[in-house]
Structure 1
Amino acid sequence: MKAAILEAFGSPLALQTIPDPVLGTGEVVVDVIATRVLSYMGEILSGARGYTLPLPAAPGVGAIGRVRALGPDATRLKVGDWVCCDATIRSRDDAVTPDIALQGLTTRSEGGLKLQRHFRHGSFAEQMLVPTENAIPIGMIEAEEAGRWCGLGMCLVPYAGLLAADLRAGETVVVNGATGGFGSAGVAVALALGAGRVVATGRNEAALADLQRRFDGRLRTARMTGDEEADRQRILETTTAPIDCVLDLLPPQASVAQVRTAALAVRPGGTVVLMGGVGMGGGEPLALPYPWLMTNNITIRGQWMYPRDAIPRMVGLVRSGLLDLGQFAVTEFGLDQVNEAVTHAAAHAGPFQTTVLRPDR
C-alpha cells in the first residue's frame, strides 16, 4: 500500500510503498477513504510538540473508511461496512487504568508506546490496522460524503467534555475558547444536546459574529479583552440563568487567566471541565481559590479524549438531524499532496473548517 511516511521529526512526509497490514485476532483492516488533518499537525511533525511516535511511521489520527478484512472475533461487522476508526487505542488487560495511545499521533506511557509500536501506522495511508472495537459502524454513506464525516473528530472532543459534565437539557453552558476549531464544534454539540443557553467566549469578534449567525437564539457571545474581572462580568451578563457548566477548550497559547475568567463564573454546585491545552508548554499553574471551590461545591473535571461509546452516540446525533456536519467547510487533498494538506490545515484552523486527506484518490 501507499503511505505518507515520517522518517524523522523535522523532515517532510514522503510517499512510500510499504507492506499491507497483517490481520490478527481482535483486529480489523480498513481501507482509508478520508482522514482529518489536524491544524497543528505541522507542529507534531516538526517535533515542536514533543509527541511520542516511533519512527518511521505514517502519522494521521482517526479516519472514515470501509472494512477490508476482519478477525474471527468480529460478529457484527462485515466487509464493506463504513466505519469511523477511533484513534484512541486502549490496552485490554486493565479495565480500570488502561494504557492509551493515540494511533498515528502520540502516547503518554510505556504501555501506550507498546500499543503504538504494534498499531504503528496512522491514517495517512491507504489502509490501516485497528482493534476490532475501534472500527465503529456509521451506516451507509456515499464516498463523496466521507470528508464531511471527518467532522466527527472535531465534535467528539467537546462531546466528551459535555458528557463528563453530565449536561442536562435546558442547562446553561459556557464554551471557553469558542472561536477555535474544537470550541466552535463544542457550541454546535452543546446545542444539539439541548442546552438551554450556550455562551461562546473568544477574542475574535468576527468569529463570534459568525457563530451568532449560524445558530439560533439560544446562543450568546462574550468577547474577551484580557481584563479578567471585566470579562467575567461580561460572561455573567449574557444570561439571566445560572451557569451550570464551563467547558474550557482554550489552546496552549492562551493564559491561565483566560481559563480562570470563565471558570469562576460557574454557579454554586456547577462543573468546570478542562479539555484545552493551556499549560502544556509550561508557565504558571491554574490558581483557583480553595474557599470558593469548597464552599460552593464546585466540581473540577479534567477530560482527555472520549469514552468508547461516544462515537455511536455522536453518529446518532448526526443521523437524527440534531447535529449538522454540513456546517463544516471541507477542503480535500490526495495522498500525494500530504505536505500541502498539512500547510493548508495550519492556515485554515478557524471554526468549522476541515482539511481532509483522501488516500482513495
Structure 2
Amino acid sequence: MRAAVLTEFGAPLTVREVPAPEAGGGEVVVDVLAACVPPYTAEVFSGERNYPLVPPVVPGVGGVGRVVHVGPDATRLRAGDLVWCDSTVRSRDDALAPDITLQGWSSRGDGGARLAEHLHDGSFAESMRVPTENVFPLPAAARSDPARWAALTVHAIPYGGLLAGGLEAGETLLVSGATGNLGSSAVAVALAMGAGRVVAPGRNQAALDLLADRFGPRVRPVRLTGDEAADRAAMSAAAGGPVDMVIDLLPPRAPGSVTRTAAMTVRENGRVVLMGGVGMLGGEDLVLPYRWIMRNSITVRGQWMYPRSANVGIVRLLASGALDLAPERVRSFGLDAVNDAVAYAAAHPGPFDRTVLVPPAG
C-alpha cells in the first residue's frame, strides 16, 4: 500500500509503498477514507513541538475509514463498516492508570513509548491497523462526506475536557483560546451540550465576529487587551453572572498570564480544566494563587485527550445534528499532495477550518 512517511524531522513527507498492515489479536485493519491534518502539523514534523515520534513513521492522528478485517474478539464490527478510528491508545494491563500513546502522533512516558513501538503508524496512509476498542461505528449520514466527519479528530478533544469538568446544561462556560481551532470547537461542542452561554475571549476580532454570527447571543465575545485586570473584568461582565467553568485550550506559544486571567473569572466552587499547551515549549508557565484556589474551593484539573466513552458521545452529538458540521470549511487533499495539505493547514488555523487528507483520492 501507499503511505506518507516522515523519514526525519524537518524533511518533507515522502509518499511511497510500504507493507500493508496485518491485524493481530484484538486489532482491526481499516482502509482510511479521511484523516484530519491539524493546523500545528508542520510544527510536529519540523521537530519544534518535540513530540516523541520515532522516524521513519507514517504519521496521522485518527481518521474515518472502512473496516477491512476484524479479529475474533470483535462481535459486532463487520468488514465494510464505516468507522471512526480514535488515536488514543491505552495499555490493557492497568485499568487505573494505563499508559497512553496517540497512534502515529505522540505518547506519554516510557510505557507510552513502548505502545508506540507496537502501534507505530497512523492514518496518513491507504490503510491502518487499529486496536479493536478504538474503532467506533459511524451513522449512515457520514457515508456521503467522510472528509467532513474527520473533524471528529478536533471535536472529541474539547468534548473530553467538558466531560471532565462536568459541564451541565444551562451553565456558563468560558473558553480560553476560543478563537483557535480547538477553542472554537469547544464553543460549538459546549452549546451542543446545552451550555446556557459561552464567554469567548480572544484577540482576533474577525474570529470573534464569526463565533457571534454563527451562534448568536448565547456566545459572548470579548476582545482581549493584554491587561490582566481589565481583561478579567471584561470577561466577567460579558458572562452576565457567575462563570461556572473555564476550559483552557491555548497553544504552547501563549503566555501563562492569559490562562490565569481566564481561570480567575470562575465563581466560588467553580471548575477549571486545562487542556492546552501553555509552557510546554519553555517560557512562562501557569501560576495560580494558592490562597484564591483554597479560599474559593476551586477545582483545577488537567485533561489529556478524552476517555474512550467520549467517542460514543461525540458521535451522537454529530448524528443528532446538535453539533452541526455543515458550516465548517473543509479542504481535501489526496495522498500525493500531503505536503501541500500540511502547508495549507498551517495557513488556515482559524475557527472551523478543516484540512483533510483523503488517501483514496490520491
Question: TM-score, normalised to structure 1's length?
Answer: 0.98
Matches of residues 180-259 of structure 1 in structure 2 within 5 Å? Answer: 180-259=180-259
Matches of residues 280-319 of structure 1 in structure 2 within 5 Å? Answer: 280-319=280-319
Conserved 8 A contact 1:37-1:356: yes
In structure 2, the residue corresponding to 1:111 is in which secondary structure?
helix
Deviations along 1:166-189, one digit per CA (max 9) or x if unpaired, are 011110000111000000000000
- Is residue 2:116 matched to residue 1:109? no
The alpha carbon displacement at 1:240 in A equals: 2.3
Deviations along 1:100-137, one digit per CA (max 9) or x if unpaired, are 00011111212111211111211000000000000111
The alpha carbon displacement at 1:95 in A equals: 0.6
The amino acid of 1:275's aligned partner reads M
The farther-off stretch of 123-132 and 235-244 is 235-244
Number of residues paired by the alignment?
Answer: 361
**Which residue of 1 is the match for residue 260 of structure 2?**
260
Conserved 8 A contact 1:81-1:140: no
Matches of residues 6-155 of structure 1 in structure 2 within 5 Å? Answer: 6-141=6-141, 143-155=143-155
The alpha carbon displacement at 1:54 in A equals: 2.0
**Which residue of 2 is the match for residue 273 of structure 1?**
273
How far apart, CA to CA, are the structure 2 residues paired with 1:298 and 1:120? 39
Deviations along 1:132-165, one digit per CA (max 9) or x if unpaired, are 0001111224554111001111111111111011
Tell me: CA distance 1:142–1:201, structure 2 relative to 1, closer, same or farther (3 Å): closer
How far apart, CA to CA, are the structure 2 residues paired with 1:231 and 1:255? 14
How far apart, CA to CA, are the structure 1 residues paired with 2:72 and 2:270? 46
The farther-off stretch of 4-13 and 347-356 is 4-13
Query: Any stretches of 5+ residues in structure 1 without a counterpart?
Result: none
How far apart, CA to CA, are the structure 1 residues paired with 2:144 and 2:12? 28
In structure 1, the residue corresponding to 2:20 is in which secondary structure?
coil
Tell me: CA distance 1:266–1:142, structure 2 relative to 1, closer, same or farther (3 Å): closer
Conserved 8 A contact 1:81-1:139: no
Q: CA RMSD in A?
A: 1.0
Deviations along 1:14-41, one digit per CA (max 9) or x if unpaired, are 1111111111110000000000011111
How far apart, CA to CA, are the structure 2 residues paired with 1:150 and 1:40? 16
Query: Any stretches of 5+ residues in structure 2 without a counterpart?
Result: none
**Which residue of 2 is the match for residue 164 of structure 1?**
164
The alpha carbon displacement at 1:3 in A equals: 0.3
The farther-off stretch of 124-133 and 113-122 is 113-122
Conserved 8 A contact 1:4-1:335: yes
The amino acid of 1:286's aligned partner reads L
How far apart, CA to CA, are the structure 2 residues paired with 1:289 and 1:168? 26
Percent identical pairs in the alignment equals 56
How far apart, CA to CA, are the structure 1 residues paired with 2:133 and 2:58? 21
Conserved 8 A contact 1:151-1:328: no
How far apart, CA to CA, are the structure 1 residues paired with 2:207 and 2:165? 26
How far apart, CA to CA, are the structure 2 residues paired with 1:333 and 1:94? 39
Tell me: CA distance 1:322–1:190, structure 2 relative to 1, closer, same or farther (3 Å): same
In structure 2, the residue corresponding to 1:250 is in which secondary structure?
coil
